[in-house]
Amino acid sequence: MRNIHLPIILSLFLLNCSTNDSGAEEIMDEPNLPSLTTSLVQEITQNSALSGGNISDDGGVSIIARGVCWSLNQNPTIQNDRTQDGNGIGEFTSVIEGLTANTTYFLRSYATNSVGTSYGEERSFTTSEVEAKIFDGDIVFLIQEEIDDFGNQGYTEITGNVEIGNINVASTTSISNLEGLSTINSVGGNLTLHANDALNSLEGLRNLEVIGGELFLSSNKAFDNIDGLNNLRTIGEGLRVVQNSALSNLDGLSNLTEIGNLLLIFNNDELVNVDGLNNLISVGFDIAIRNNDKLSEINSFNNLEFSTGLSISDNSTLNTINGFSSLKTIQLFLVIENNNSLSSFNGFGELESIGSNLEINNNGALTSLDGLVKLISLGESLTVIQNTELVDFCGIDTLIKTGFTGSYEVSENAYNPSQQEILNGNCQN
């Protein structure tokens, strides 16, 4: 019996080995990321450049996207600005556009297959400077054609006032973009944008760095941000942001460090934060933030150490003031009133001196004055009235105990201690 079955068993064993050997031969290499290099950056102008790459290996699967990506920061990715220059292996050329003059960029080539995206080596380059060309005098723009024609002249500086829309005329403009002003880096006088109902972007002002006079943004209904001002660093006079009904934030002012006079933010119905003002170091005169119905918190102004006067009032949904954390001195007054939802203003924790008046009135949700714990000097008067939930005055304990002799008016709060009661240790109810 054994002699009969042995050939059959051997045949089956050899057939099985042969089948396994064939399967091993059919195993293919796993696909990989592509390999590529980045071309030199050439033909650099004020707003464009030329580069590209060379894909030497597709990784075993087809290249589905290729191009270059760039950023102001190192190691740019396809999440940053990029070109899309076809597919396949080999050399390709990329035209980079929309750049800012006299600016350093970082660039890499990229290639994408089904495995993922890989990058060539990084290269950096600096765009050309804009040759100065000065417009001497004031100018008013009321229609799009006027801005476009002005842009064809290539001016870099305007010595006088610039009005986009006429503050003295009741009608609105149909101006829809400011690209004709994209080469302007300095305005010597005031810059006013008023009643431009079709203007939804300030991107055409992206190279503006200095305004010698005032920046006045008033009654513009379309733009919800002012990101086109993100290179603005100095305003010689005031900044007024008034009745811009769609404006939701001031992030476009994140590089602004100096305002020479007033800062007024009034009646902006959709404004939810003012975080873009956090790099301000100096404001030459009063700050007033008023009647911004959706402004729920103030977390900015944390680099400001001095203010002439400060008023925060009639912001119906304002809940917290955690900004102003470096503010030590207010020359004249601090007024916080008619903010119905305000529960705390602890951002003033470093404030030591107010030259004239402190008024905290009619803030319906306020329960304590803890934000004033370091206040030791108040020049004239203290008024705390009609804060219906206010029960804790311990935040002014130090002020009273250091000998405050000015006018003291405290009434119609949930607790109304006299100065003597605070001196006796009864600073809260």
Domain boundaries along the sequence of the chain: 35-126, 130-278, 286-429
CA distance 210 to 301: 20
Q: Which of 240, 166, 224 is nearest to 196 (CA)?
A: 166
pLDDT in tens, 123-175: 999 999 877 899 999 999 999 999 999 999 999 999 999 999 988 877 899 99
Q: What is the pLDDT, as a whole number, of residue 262? A: 96
User: Of 2-6, 95-99, 187-191, 409-413, which gets the smallest average pLDDT?
Assistant: 2-6
Q: What is the mean pLDDT of residues 284-301?
A: 97
Q: What is the pLDDT, as a whole number, of residue 29? A: 81
Rg (Cα) of the chain, in Å, rounded?
32
Q: Decide: helix, strand or coil at residue 393.
A: coil
**pLDDT of 9 over the 50 cut:** no
DSSP one-letter string for 178-207: -GGGTT--EESS-EEEE-BTT----GGGTT
Which two three-digit tokens encode residue 326?
């470096």
Q: What is the pLDDT, as a whole number, of residue 27? A: 53
**Which neighbouring-strand residues pair with 395?**
none
* Alpha helices (runs of H) in 122-266, residue ranges in sequence order: 144-151
Q: In this structure, what DSSP letter does residue 24 have?
A: H
**Which neighbouring-strand residues pair with 47?**
none
Q: In this structure, what DSSP letter does residue 132 have?
A: P
Q: Which residues contact 96 (CB under 8 A, 6 or more apart)?
A: 48, 49, 50, 51, 68, 70, 83, 107
pLDDT in tens, 161-199: 999 998 887 789 999 999 999 999 999 999 999 999 999
CATH class of 35-126: mainly beta
Q: Which of 59, 63, 43, 60 is nearest to 51 (CA)?
A: 43
Name the more confident of 26 and 400. 400
Question: 266, 238 in Cβ contact below 8 A?
Answer: no
Q: Which residues contact 359 (CB under 8 A, 6 or more apart)?
A: 333, 334, 335, 336, 337, 383, 384
Q: What is the pLDDT, as a whole number, of residue 84? A: 97
CA distance 313 to 144: 38
Q: How confident is the model at residue 382 (pLDDT cuts 50, 70, 90)?
A: very high
Q: What is the mean pLDDT of residues 299-319?
A: 97
Quote the percentage of the chain above a pLDDT of 90.
89
Q: Which of 412, 405, 400, 337 is nearest to 372 (CA)?
A: 400
Q: How confident is the model at residue 104 (pLDDT cuts 50, 70, 90)?
A: very high
Which two three-digit tokens encode residue 275?
């975080």
CA distance 107 to 95: 12
Q: What is the pLDDT, as a whole number, of residue 28? A: 62
Q: What is the pLDDT, as a whole number, of residue 60? A: 95
Share the mean pLDDT of the chain. 93
- The CATH code of domain 286-429 reads 3.80.20
Distance of CA 132 to the CA centre of its chain: 28
Long-range contacts of 415-424 (CB under 8 A, 24+ apart): 415/390, 415/391, 417/393, 422/393, 422/396, 422/397
pLDDT in tens, 216-254: 999 999 999 999 999 999 999 999 999 999 999 999 999
Same topology, domains 35-126 and 286-429? Answer is no
The CATH homologous superfamily of the domain defined by 130-278? Receptor L-domain (3.80.20.20)
Q: What is the pTM of this model?
A: 0.75
